[in-house]
């Protein structure tokens, strides 16, 4: 039917990839809030 079926498949795959990237860009996933754990240096808790 087609002379170059691999080229057609590559074009379809590229189109799906572009549509997926546009969908993620238009509707980004929500960021879940997470507490920030900071590591304190041990020398703050030593006696002078």
- Give residue limits of the domains in the chain: 1-28
Query: Do residues 9 and 15 lie in contact, with contact meaning Cβ atoms separated by under 8 Å?
Result: no
| Predicted TM-score (pTM) of this structure | 0.55
Predicted confidence at residue 48, as pLDDT, reads 63
Predicted confidence at residue 2, as pLDDT, reads 66
CA distance 28 to 19: 14
- The model's confidence at residue 1, banded by pLDDT at 50, 70 and 90, is low
Q: What is the pLDDT of residues 15-48, one digit of tens each?
A: 999 999 999 999 888 888 888 888 777 766 666 6
């Amino acid at each position: 039917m087609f002379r170059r079926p691999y080229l057609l498949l590559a074009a379809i795959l590229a189109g799906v990839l572009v549509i997926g990237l546009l969908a993620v860009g238009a509707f980004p996933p929500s960021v879940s809030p997470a507490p920030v754990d900071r590591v304190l240096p041990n020398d703050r808790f030593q006696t002078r």
